[in-house]
Each structure stands twice: as C-alpha cells, then as structure tokens.
Amino acid sequence: MTLNDMEVGHTCIVERLNDEGEIRRRIMDMGITKGAEICVMKIAPLGDPIDVTVRGYHLSLRRSDAANIEVIPA
Amino acid sequence: MALTIALVGNPNSGKTTLFNQLTGNHQYVGNWPGVTVERKTGKLKNHSDVEVVDLPGIYSLSPYSNEEIIARDYLVQGSPDVIVDIVDASNLERNLYLTTQLMEFGVPVVVALNQMDVVHKRGCELDSAALSKELDLPVVEISALQGDGIDNVIAAAKVAAEGRKAPSPARFSPDLEALIEHLEADLPQAVAPQLKRYYAIKYLERDEKVLAELGGIEDLDGHVRAVEARFGDRADAVISNERYNFITSFINEVQKKTEPEMSTTSKIDRILLNRVLALPIFVVIIAAIYYISVSTVGGYATDWANDGVFGDGWYLDPVAIVNPDASTQARYDADAEPYDEAQEAIANYLDAASEKGIDTTAVAANFLAEPDEETIEAMGEGFEPDPESAETQAALKAFEAKAASEGVIAEYTIINEEDLTQTDYFVYVGEQNEAKAQALADARNGEIAAEGRSEAAEAVVYNFDGEVASEDNEGEMVPQGVLVPAPQEHEAYGIWIPGIPVLLGGALQAVGCVDWLYDLIMDGIVAGVGAVLGFVPQIMILFFLLAILERCGYMARVTFILDRLFRRFGLSGKTFIPMIIGTGCGVPGVMASRTIESESSRHLTVMTTTFMPCSAKLPIIALIATAVFGGVWWVAPLAYFMGIASIVMSGIILKKFKAFRGETTPYIMELPEYRLPRFVDLLRSMWERAWAFIRKAGTIILLATVVVWFLSGYGVYEGQFMWVGEELMDYSFLAYFGNAFAWVFTPLGFNNWQSASTVITGLIAKENVIGTMAIVFGGGELPWASEFMQALAATTGSLALVPVAAFAFMTFQLLCAPCFAAMGAIKREMGGFNKWFWAAIGWECGWAYAIALIVYQVGKLVVLGQFGFGTAVAFLLIAAILFGLFRPMPRDEKIAANLSTVSETA
C-alpha cells in the first residue's frame, strides 16, 4: 500500500520510493527514506495535499506524490 | 585575522535573524521557508575584517533549486574559512541531514544550535555536548532571536577557522564506505583531495552538474552499479538512507523526547487547518486585514493624514478616535456646514440675480466669504466688509426688494461626496416667492420619484434671508442665507494644528517667494507628494498586519490550503507567497517567484504576480472606496479578490498554451511551528517597508510631480507658449498628451485627458496616479476627488455612471502593466527583454483593458439598461474568457506530452 492510502491519524513505515528524478530526491531530502516513520495528520480542505509528520516535523505533500511512497502500516 | 564565515542552514531555521545579529543588518525575516533567495554579504559587527555570507536556506545540496545551486557553488568555489551551520534544535533530525553534507567540503564546520527555548518549552532535553561528540564538531547553543550565544559562535568560528581542521565526514555502513573509497581512488587527479568524498558521493547520486563538471569519467559507472547491486536500490536513495541512518544511530542518545501531548501548533492547526473551516477562516483573515487597513482604522488614519496633516489642519482631540460625533471637529462642522451651505446659496442667488440685471456688488462684497477681485475693486479702495453696518443693511434690503419683485429663483445641484446623494436647491427671497420656490421643488421631487431615485436625490427650498422652522426640533427657528453666522476661527474650538500646506504656504509668503516657485511648491510638490504621503499611515497598518501573518507561520499554511486550487491553474500553492509579498511591492513579489521549481509555473507567476494590488496601488483603491463609494466595506476586499481572480483565470487560460505546458510543479513544503512574533520585529518590518514607500515619495515621485506640474501648468494657447494655469489647463502639454490617447479609454468610461495622463505617470510609479490626479483635478472649486467624479460624470454623460466608470478606472489601474521598477524585476526573472517579457507586459495590459471594459459596459447595462455596441463587445470578451477557461486541453499537444513521457520512461 502507499502513503496515499493511509487514513488520518494512522502511522506507517516507509518501504520504498517509486518516484522519479527531482521529486523523489526532494522527498528523500525531507526525511522520507526507507524505515522512516510517517503519521498522516491532516488533509487539506480541498482534499489535497496532505499534512504528515516525519522525523518530528510537519511536512505537506501532494497525494500524487504520496501515491509513489510504498509503506507498511505500523 | 581576515576570514569569511558562511552561514548555512535549513529554511526557516533562523539564519537571517542570526545574520542580522552578527552584522547589525536588518534583512527581511519571515516565518516561512524560502525567504532568502539570494546570497547576502555583511561585515561582522565590530570586526571589519570578518565577512559573513548569508546563503539561502536549503534542505540539501541537490542541484534542483536555485537556492541549492547558489549555496553549493559558493561552498565549492568561494571557499569560506568556516561554515556556521544553523540547526533548528526543535527539528534536529532533519536539520542534521544538511549537516552531514556540509561535513564533506573539507571546510571546518561549527554547529549553532538555535531555538533551544522551543525544545525546553516542549519539555524535551537536548545534550549539546553529546551531539558535539557524535558529530565531532563544535556545537554552540544560541538564541538568534534574543541574541544569546552570538559571541560564542564568533569565538568558536574563529578557533575552527584557525585550526583549519577538516571535519571527519559522517560514517556510512562499512560496505558503502568501501565502495566510496574505491570510487574516490578512480576520480580524476584534478579533484582537490579534501573534495574527493564530496565528488564521489555526488557521482553516486548521478548529480547532473557534477557529471558535467568532471566529464569523461564513464568508467566510474561501474562503481555506481556496484552500489546499486549491493543495496538493491538506486544509489542516491542509498546515500540518503545512510545519512539518516547515521543521524538516527545517535539521535536518541542526544535528545530525550517526552511523549508529546498535543503541541500548541497542532492545537492551532486543528482549527486553522480544519477541513471545513480552513477556507472560510482564510477568507475572513484576508478580508479582515484589508478591511482594517483600508476601510476602517486605515481609512480614519488616511483621512487624518490627507485632510489634516496634508490638508487645512486637524484638532488634537482624542475624543475623535472614540466618538467622532462628539469630537471637536464635529463641533466645528456643526457651525461650518450651515455656513458653507449658506455661502453656496448666496453665491448662486447673486449669480442668478445679476443675470437678470440686478446689481449685486455691495451684497457680494459684504456677505461672501471670498468675493472675487472685481467686486472688491468696485467697492473702492480701503474697503472692509461689514455686514452689520447700516449702509450694508440698506444695500441688502434694496437688493432683496428688487430680486423679490423680479421673482428671482436660483436653482443648483450639490452632490454629497460621501454618499453620492444629490440635492437640488431652489433659493428665493421674500415671502411672496416662497410658494413659487416650493412649487418648483415639489415638481422636481415628483420627477425624482417618477424616476425612482428618491433614495439618492431630493429637492429643497432655501431662504436667501430668513429663518425657517427646524426639521428635527419643532418651534426652533434656524437661520438661513445671509443670517447664518460664520464659524469662529479653528483655535476657538480646540487645539488646532494647521496642516503642512497651510504652514508651508504661510512661510513661503512670509519670505516673499516668487509666484511661479510658490505654485510649483504648493500646487505641484505639496499637492502631489502630499497626496501620496497621506497614505503612509494606512500602508503602515497593512504592513503591520501582514508582518504578523508572515512571522507567525500562517503563510506556509495558506499554501497548504490553496495548493489544490492553484494547481488546477498550473500554479502551485507557493504562488501565493509572491502574491502576498506582491501586496507590499511587486518587485520583491516577482523575485519571490524564484522559489517555484517548475519553469512554466514560474513564468506564469512572474506574469501574473503584479495583478495583486501593491502598496502603491492601495491609495487608488482607498480613493475609489472612500470618495466614490462612500467608504462601503466591500470595495477594498473586492479589489484584492479581483487580483487573485485575475491570477487564477490567467493561469487557467495560459496553461492551455503550449509555452506554459510543463511538468507539474512539485509541492513538498514544510509547515513550520507557529511562533508568537515579537512586537519590535513587527514594528521593524512595518517600518522598513513603509520607509521604502516614503523614500520613493521623496525621490522619484517628487521628480514626477514636478514634471507633471510643469506639463500641466504650461502649454500652448492661441499659438503661444505660456503659463496656462488652472483655468486653461485643457490647453496644457499634459492635456495634449492625454488627449492624444484618451479615446482609447472611451469604452472604459474615462476618456478624459486627466485620467489618461495618470495611466502614463502611473508607469513611473503607481503612487503617481493619485499624485497626478491631485494636480490635474486640483485647483477647482471642489476637492480634487470630487472634480474627478465631475469629470467622469461629464465623460459618461450620467451621474449614475460615475461609480461604474470610477470602478473601471480603478480596475484598469490595478491590473495594467506595473511600474518600471516591477517591469525591471519581470525582465530579470524572464531573462531579458525577450518574448517572455513582452508576453507578460502585453498580457497584463490586455487583461486590464478587457476586464475594465467588461466592468464599465456591463455596469452601464445594469444601471441605465442601455445595450449598445460596447455592451456587445463586453459580452464577446466574457465569452472569449469563458472559452479560454473551459475549453479542454488542446488534443494534439496532449498526445505530444504523453509521447514525451513515454519516451522518457523508455
């Protein structure tokens, strides 16, 4: 399953990133790497993007990018 | 010893605050990622031989954004003596990710641990000594905000720089270390030994810039493949993982986290980012900001500045703030208003009488506050008005007897500036004429009622010399006409502070200033610059409120709320940051678009950012909102939402053209912790921006008003170059100039040369629009704002169309090409005077024209119910815009776009 499938309030562990190039690199730079714990905190009023906590801070990213992050529910 | 310190750190880690502390500079600080876009250099306070370089905030040293490239180019080529890495202690794990990269440059690194207070407030502990041991780097605790620990950073940086000890890089897993070592050995000889690890890692990451730089080292590919085979993932992912693994290996030893209950930020976000409430709250916040700064508090401040400080003067009276109705000004007005009304009636009645051949000289000389010069001359030398004298009274009785027997009735119209209501006066003399005047007024009231305008118009009778029963107090008699006493001097009512024009005018006359210079200073500079400076209080209030939003952390949330919306238009939530900065000034607004990664979105943002009303356009909005619309609350917010709508609609329409099609803009954004802004910082931020506005008023606007004054004061009349002044201003150079293209604005409802000329002077600086209006409409009997409305009434041919034309005027001024300074910024961001630049200017002007035309023509249709050629054009334009908005993505290009993605994946 991917980060995009996670429900608000649930935590998961990153398994791998399927993105390509720049976006993938950015996501990694922001701390979403294999083994990182992510908790989905909020969904924006218009349904996208989502707000997650990773490595102790809040990060927002789009659903289309979240769909490329494979996770295992914790 | 001379040395260079490079400040590096994550966005929003407090880097710029530290830079300001170190250098004593006041760089712009905000609480959102990406405030610093360029690198800045300053000298260390009290150490002129130490240079401090503030690099843009970055999360990593990837080659993807301009900030990252600026930062790493400097670190590789600029070779600083020491890097001070600002680490946000409240966000340690991710901040250290950059630290692990900085450790690879062979340059000494000092870690400045900022925001420890936030850590303590959360009930967490952080052992900086342990951190120092793990990283093998000096770690200094600081508070950039309070200025604590700054000396320690300087001392540590000096020691580190003198030691010249390269940090030992973050250690990865043994397998990866071995592979990196092999790669390092195979790097070209030209690579400096201390940068070998940096280049080796960049090579593994397939960093395009490094690959291009090193060139011809394809034989290294084997190393990358070896890493990927060993770890079963792409090499760059392996490196990122290893960096974070290095950090997590010791992070729990260094920081003790108590299990967090809900943080303050989360609590606030529960409301502000609530799925249902977030959008309404956002709209309310923005509307409230502009409501406060334009309509209410800012409006009062501007009235005070414009009518008081840069007008006749003002009363020092705290009551005016609490209860304007009980203020000294109100008491003065209670005396002055009936007098002004009476003066108007007397002047009009005397005009009407003299048209019938009745001599009005003696009455005019004695009862008018400002009789004309001919009248005074006719009264003979040494004449002093004395309404009470027997002689004057006799002349008055004689005049009245004649006028009454001739049955003279004076008729004229007064328009209330504030609510645009109109009053038709019928002035009479003598009881025998009262019924006649009343009949005329009744007939007019009948017409008004038949037209359905009873709300906005009224006809009344007025006695030239007599008393009438008061309307609200039966039995009390109120004087009218010549019986109304003049108000006392201002000083008799309270503490009166004369306005700058009054003081300056008096001083100039006292020193015997020559006439033309007096006119230049008073009617040119003071009128023009004063009109602009009058808006300073309002702008300060707006900047203060925006500073709160910027510093508390809400701005980043706004991008979160709006991203979905903006993405549909080919923009990103980040577009909102240039837009919001653009409400201060378009120049930094356009520059802020650099943080947008995708080129097509950046181009779109640069083209459309200046649709947001900047502070210089604020006076135009304020003028239209107060003078034309009587201060209704919705004009100012509407102006801003019009700016937003223009950006959004332009985005949708332009995105469908090939030139703007591009990769979707990435949106990966940190939502920073909320912080309570410090009051001094808010004041400083407000003052810095207001000062820039004031400075501009004192330089370019001053110059422009002088030029405008000259062009409007001189001209060619009857074949002669001469001073045309106010009476003949229609023959001035400015009038010729404005007339040459005023016709362009016919479909927009403001084709008079005055309005046209403001469009041109507005290009120099938008403040000039108001400054020029004050000059070209000034000098009439009415305040210049009213003269502007009169001019619109004349061009549109209907009083009812004045608000419509004024709104169209405002619309055009707000949306058309920005000032030259902002055009310069657009040129820089587009990369020169190329097709992108001209497309931007062309689109802005075209859009402004189309929207203003729609506003005027549709408004005309609604108000007058007239359907004409212009209305048809307006509907065609609406149809064209709707087509642009709703047409599907052109198909051929869609296929091409798909093909290119296919080929990329293949």
Enter the tokens of residue B219: 């034989």
Q: Is residue B33's pLDDT more than 60?
A: no
Chain B: nearest CA to A39, how far in angstroms? 13
Of B35-39, B174-178, B659-663, B895-899, where does the model show the most confidence? B174-178
Average pLDDT, chain A: 90
Spatial neighbors of B897 by CB under 8 A, at least 6 apart, are: B661
Of B35-44, B45-54, B132-141, where does the model show the most confidence? B132-141
pLDDT value, residue A13: 95
Among chain B residues, the shortest Cα distance to A24 is held by B237
Residue of B563, B671, B91, B280 whose CA lies nearest to A41: B671
- Contact of A68 with chain B, judged by CB distance below 8 Å, is answered with no
CA distance B321 to B438: 41
% of chain B beyond a pLDDT of 90: 17
Start-end of CATH 1.10.287.1770 domains in chain B: 174-256
Q: Is residue B325's pLDDT more than 90?
A: no
We report the CATH number of the domain holding residue A17 as 2.30.30.90
Mean pLDDT of B151-172: 89
Q: Is residue B906's pLDDT more than 60?
A: no
Kindly report the number of other CB atoms within 10 A of residue B40's CB atom. Answer: 17
Q: Is residue B99's pLDDT more than 90?
A: yes
Q: Is residue B902's pLDDT more than 60?
A: no
Among chain A residues, the shortest Cα distance to B904 is held by A20
B 655-684 residues with CB < 8 A to A: 664, 666-672
Nearest CB partner across the interface for A57, out of B245, B567, B670? B670
**Could you tell me where the DSSP H helices lie in chain A?**
21-29, 63-66
Beta carbons of B237 and A17 less than 8 Å apart: yes
Beta carbons of B597 and A45 less than 8 Å apart: no
Nearest CB partner across the interface for A43, out of B245, B275, B664? B275
Beta carbons of A27 and B668 less than 8 Å apart: yes
Whether B827 contacts B833, CB under 8 Å: yes
Average pLDDT, chain B: 83
Whether B302 contacts B535, CB under 8 Å: yes
Beta carbons of A45 and B94 less than 8 Å apart: no
Partners of A16 in beta bridges? A70
Among chain B residues, the shortest Cα distance to A62 is held by B667
CA distance B188 to B279: 56
- Contact of A39 with chain B, judged by CB distance below 8 Å, is answered with no
* pLDDT bracket for residue B95 (50, 70, 90): very high
Beta carbons of A58 and B671 less than 8 Å apart: yes
Q: Is residue B543's pLDDT more than 70?
A: yes
CA distance B688 to B773: 27
Chain B: nearest CA to A73, how far in angstroms? 20
CA distance B301 to B339: 27
pLDDT value, residue B855: 94
pLDDT value, residue B615: 79
Higher-scoring residue by pLDDT: B331, B764: B331
Among chain B residues, the shortest Cα distance to A43 is held by B275
Of B503-517, B700-714, B725-739, where does the model show the most confidence? B503-517
Three-class HEC string of B787-848: HHHHHHHHHHCCHHHHHHHHHHHHHHHHHCCCCHHHHHHHHHHHCCCCHHHHHHHHHHHHHH
Whether A17 contacts A32, CB under 8 Å: yes
Start-end of CATH 3.40.50.300 domains in chain B: 3-163
Enter the tokens of residue B787: 């003269």
Cβ-based contacts of A70 with chain B (< 8 Å): none
Mean pLDDT of B816-844: 86
CA distance to B93, B118, B149, per residue, from B89 (Å): 9, 8, 14
| C-alpha torsion B886→B890→B896→B898, nearest 10 | 30
- Contact of B208 with chain A, judged by CB distance below 8 Å, is answered with no
pLDDT value, residue B431: 84
Of B268-272, B582-586, B834-838, B851-855, where does the model show the most confidence? B851-855
Chain A: nearest CA to B560, how far in angstroms? 7
CA distance B277 to B441: 55
pLDDT value, residue B898: 44
Chain A: nearest CA to B772, how far in angstroms? 45
Spatial neighbors of B647 by CB under 8 A, at least 6 apart, are: B569, B571, B575, B579, B608, B609, B611, B612
DSSP per position, B247-315: HHHHHHHHEEPPPP---HHHHHHHHHT-TTTHHHHHHHHHHHHHIIIIISHHHHHHHIIIIIITTSEEE
User: What amino acid is encoded at B845 in this protein?
Assistant: C
- Contact of A28 with chain B, judged by CB distance below 8 Å, is answered with yes
Among chain B residues, the shortest Cα distance to A56 is held by B91
CA distance to B200, B220, B511, per residue, from B232 (Å): 19, 19, 89
Mean pLDDT of B861-869: 86
Mean pLDDT of A17-32: 85
3-state SS, residue B379? coil
Higher-scoring residue by pLDDT: B56, B129: B129
pLDDT value, residue A12: 95
* Cβ–Cβ pairs < 8 A, chains A and B: 124
User: What amino acid is encoded at B695 in this protein?
Assistant: R
Mean pLDDT of B284-302: 79
pLDDT value, residue B447: 85
Residue of B290, B298, B289, B297 whose CA lies nearest to B548: B289
pLDDT value, residue B904: 37
Whether the ω angle into residue B138 lies within 30 degrees of 0, i.e. cis, is no
Among chain A residues, the shortest Cα distance to B670 is held by A59
Mean pLDDT of A18-23: 78
Class of domain B3-163: alpha beta
pLDDT value, residue B28: 53
Total number of domains in chain A: 1
Beta carbons of B671 and A48 less than 8 Å apart: no
Beta carbons of A59 and B573 less than 8 Å apart: no
The correct CATH number of B174-256 out of 1.10.1040.10, 1.20.120.80, 3.40.50.970, 1.10.287.1770 is 1.10.287.1770
DSSP state of B726: T
pLDDT value, residue B899: 41
Cβ-based contacts of A25 with chain B (< 8 Å): 60, 62, 64, 205, 236, 240
pLDDT value, residue B182: 87
pLDDT value, residue B892: 52
CA angle B340–B346–B351, rounded 5-degree value: 130
CA distance B609 to B577: 10
Q: Is residue B382's pLDDT more than 50?
A: yes
CA distance to A34, B95, B242, B244, B256, per residue, from B249 (Å): 14, 15, 10, 8, 14
The range of the structural domain enclosing residue A67 comes to 3-73
Whether B804 contacts B859, CB under 8 Å: yes
pLDDT value, residue B26: 59
Mean pLDDT of B556-574: 81
Nearest CB partner across the interface for B564, out of A28, A34, A46? A46
- Contact of B269 with chain A, judged by CB distance below 8 Å, is answered with yes
CA distance B326 to B338: 18
Enter the tokens of residue B503: 């003081």
Give the best residue of A14, A29, A37, A54 to mutate against chain B (max B CB count within 10 A): A29
* Lowest mean pLDDT across B79-83, B198-202, B591-595: B591-595
Beta carbons of A56 and B94 less than 8 Å apart: yes
**For residue range B706-736, what is the model confidence (pLDDT) as tens digits?**
888 888 888 888 888 888 777 777 888 888 8
- Contact of A43 with chain B, judged by CB distance below 8 Å, is answered with yes
- Decide the pairing of beta strands B720-723 and B457-463: unpaired
**For residue range B17-31, what is the model confidence (pLDDT) as tens digits?**
888 888 876 555 554
Beta carbons of B244 and A31 less than 8 Å apart: yes
Kindly report the number of other CB atoms within 10 A of residue B871's CB atom. Answer: 17
pLDDT value, residue B112: 94
- Contact of B275 with chain A, judged by CB distance below 8 Å, is answered with yes
- Contact of B565 with chain A, judged by CB distance below 8 Å, is answered with yes
User: What amino acid is encoded at B159 in this protein?
Assistant: V
% of chain B beyond a pLDDT of 70: 93
Nearest CB partner across the interface for A31, out of B97, B265, B273? B97
Cβ-based contacts of A17 with chain B (< 8 Å): 237
CA distance B427 to B463: 6
Nearest CB partner across the interface for B666, out of A26, A41, A45? A26
Q: Can you say how many angstroms the Cα of residue B244 is from the centroid of all Cα atoms in its chain?
A: 43
**For residue range B573-592, what is the model confidence (pLDDT) as tens digits?**
777 778 877 877 787 778 77
